[in-house]
Amino acid sequence: MERLEYARAIYGDPEKQAVRRSLDSGWLSGGHETLAFEREFAQVMKNRFALSVNSGSSADIVALQALGLPRGSEVITPAGAAFPTTIAPMVYLGLRPVFVDVDGLLLDLKEVEKAIGPDTKAIMFAHTLGQMPDMAILTKIARDNGLRVVEDVCDAVGSTQNGKLAGTFGDMATVSLYPAHHITTGEGGMVLTNNPKLFREAGSIRDWGRDCTCTPEARGCMNRFGNPPFDHRYYYTRIGGNFKMNEMTAAFGREQLKRLEGFIELRRRNYRILAEELHEPYNPEISPFAYPIFSRHKMRDMEFLNEQGIDTRTLFAGNILRHPAFKDIDCRVVGDLSGSDKVLNEAYFVGVGPHLTPSNMLYIADKIKQCSQ
């Protein structure tokens, strides 16, 4: 029986040749390939700046830290359909998550308004499986209350709302380049922004917290010896780490980026087939990561589909606060989180990746229908 994996990395000779090209250059980190990948990625994502990092998790840490929020500041985030690496940076940075509920898979914006308090400084959330809340309403809430917005676009590269790309609404956005996502570099991520000050903050944090953010194109720091007694290249003004992407990874990513448009078209096709077969609505603006299913018999259905050769996953952490790692963190909870518990108890997903064919999708749809019989 053919196993229909929910995700599979697709790459070939162009990526392999790009890695070889990078190795042959003799420059393994922070060189031409990385800079070119950042420029090309920013252009595709309609942002002024893109900063490469070594994972989507690192992207979340760097983006949130770059906002410079005082310790103890509150950050509103959904408890439902959450992934740990959206929440963990808040804990690491001494910020206080404020958990609100979801409406289906989407951040419940009415709950967001209720959650705003005197210490609230930001909203950080993911566009789950490519689906987006009403961003006009969300950005108005943020603007009216002086809140920063960080969009986690790991599931939603290419999703749009009224023609505007995910990752262009807030102050900053993050992307994962993990093998399951829209394109991959094996491991890797990007931080996106249109704000030059935030871009500089993020760049410093990514590079050990050093003040110098000169690129290799400048052939080293342009002001190395102008700040005695410090060599400016090794002058540290922020707390940071080494979150950098290497040159081989970036070279691989540049070739993957050329495939992105085609990958998105295939994902939309596969999602649309499932939606039509299951008589559910289809939004042509989403660039889907996977297809969500709600069932009161979730585990039974997942086991049945697994036996039929169909790969499934639970919808990330469900309600993140039900997991041991997060039950005792310093946080504030707004509402009863019943929608988040519904995601935990009933939601799972099947794949729509570009490796799947129309006949694969019809087979998956048929087996999902059998689950409800």
**Which listed residue (32, 127, 181, 297) is catalytic?**
181
CA atoms of 250 and 32, how far apart (whole Å) = 9
Cis peptide before 229 (omega within 30 of 0): yes
- Say how far apart CA 274 and CA 279 lie, in whole Å: 8
Residue with tokens 């939603």: 156
* 8 Å CB contact between 175 and 185: no
Phi and psi angles of residue 207, each rounded to the nearest 5 degrees, phi first: -105, 60
Residue 235 contacts residue 212 (beta carbons within 8 Å): yes
Number of C-beta neighbours around residue 239 at 10 A: 11
In whole angstroms, how large is the CA radius of gyration of the chain?
21
Is residue 189 within 8 Å of residue 55, measured between CB atoms?
Answer: yes
Q: Is the dihedral of CA 61, 62, 64, 70 positive or negative?
A: positive
CA 275 to chain CA centroid, nearest Å: 24
Gap between the Cα atoms of 171 and 63, Å rounded: 9
Residue 323 is among the residues annotated as catalytic for this protein: no
Residue type at position 121: K
Contact (CB, 8 A) for 92 and 119: no
Residues involved in catalysis:
181
